[in-house]
Amino acid sequence: MADNLQRSDTETNVIRDELIAGLTAPRATTSPKYLYDALGSKLFEAICELPEYYPTRTEAAIFERHGAEIASSVGAGATLIDLGAGNCAKAARLFPSLAPSQYVPIDISADFLKAAVAQLERQFPDIRMLALGMDFSSTLDLPPAVSDARRLFFYPGSSIGNFHPGEALAFLRRLRQADGDLLIGVDLVKDRAVLDAAYDDALGVTASFNLNLLHHLNRLLGADFNLREWKHRGFFNPELSRIEMHLEARRDLTVRWNGGVRRFGEGERIHTENSYKYTPDSFAGLLQEAGFHLAQRWTDERGWFMVCHARR
Ligand code: AVJ
């Protein structure tokens, strides 16, 4: 996602300050966005292929099975705004049924988007396309080239789960204020063993994904994290209805970076990600609180994942 970016000195300093503040806090934390350097993005793609990681394929099955109903609920001719589009593959599978008039993929890395869009423009010459490289979590100011046709924000993959519920509510409100309807994928609360396995798989790909964060921090901060001194933890916290990922120190150790140092005791953790899980009702409540009207929702037979269409 973010590694082929040219950053200004100011951006680099903001990143450093944010990371150092998190790492030196009494309970060390880092934002999940730092999991996605070039290798991290590839490891996430590998996670989506794991037998234990059900969200991606469960959501795809819902779109496959209910595609016609979803299309008739949403209606043709919308401006489809794809939040965190990546390789644009999820949205592209919906083009034949959704028939958007314009497609606007947004991601932090515009370079990556542009290649995907060039390909899609040849495949779907009737759909106007506009790739935007921006951080949509900080702004939704869309350029005038985004058409005034009815807007549909597309936010699949349960990415909403990375936000604390309060932040998720604020984000949904901003989408609504940006004049959009919403098609969103949300992961649901389920048997704890299923959740634990999805974030701590037998092959250790999720462990690698989490530990790779330390390589990324070493590059961003000039730090000396030794990956062999850290252990992946990924588990469901039922009180807070979220998966938590942490990196845990295997022994007492010291980490140094340009201009700083932190000691970690054995067993001490860096909290690297939350992934909130909703019930159909708790998520419907959140949509309603944000001012949306739930038009329709679809789940798989096991009730593991939900896709919602909400109107403003
Ligand atoms: C990309 C945030 C939806 O929370 O399931 C997968 C990221 N982390 N395995 C998720 C993730 C560990 C994923 N999201």
The predicted pLDDT at position 5 comes to 55
Least Cα distance to 32 among 255, 189, 173, 213 occurs for 213
Distance 206 CA to ligand 1 centre (A): 9
Per-residue pLDDT 10s for the chain (312 aa) are: 444 456 777 878 888 999 999 999 999 999 999 999 999 999 999 999 999 999 999 999 999 999 999 999 999 999 999 999 988 999 999 999 999 999 999 997 777 788 899 999 999 999 999 999 988 988 888 999 998 889 999 999 999 999 999 999 999 999 999 989 999 999 999 999 999 999 999 999 999 999 999 999 999 999 999 999 999 999 999 999 999 999 999 999 999 999 899 999 999 999 999 999 999 999 999 999 999 999 999 999 999 999 999 999
Distance between Cα 305 and ligand 1 center (Å) = 14
Nearest CA to ligand 1 atom 13: 159
Rounded distance between C-alpha atoms, residue 263 and residue 213, angstroms = 18
pLDDT of residue 3: 47
Residue 305 · residue 186 · CB < 8 Å: yes
Q: What is the pLDDT of residue 86?
A: 86
Nearest CA to ligand 1 atom 10: 275
Structure confidence at residue 112 (pLDDT)? 77
Look at residue 4 in the predicted model and tell me its pLDDT: 46
Q: What's the 209 CA to ligand 1 centre distance in angstroms?
A: 10
Q: What's the pLDDT at 2? A: 43
Nearest-angstrom CA–CA distance, 147 and 129: 10
- Predicted local confidence at residue 139, as pLDDT: 84
Query: Apex CA 166: angle with CA 160 and CA 170, to 5°?
Result: 75
In this prediction, does ipTM exceed 0.95? yes
CA distances from 110 to 12, 105, 156 (A): 18, 9, 19
Nearest alpha-carbon partner for 172 in 285, 270, 69: 285
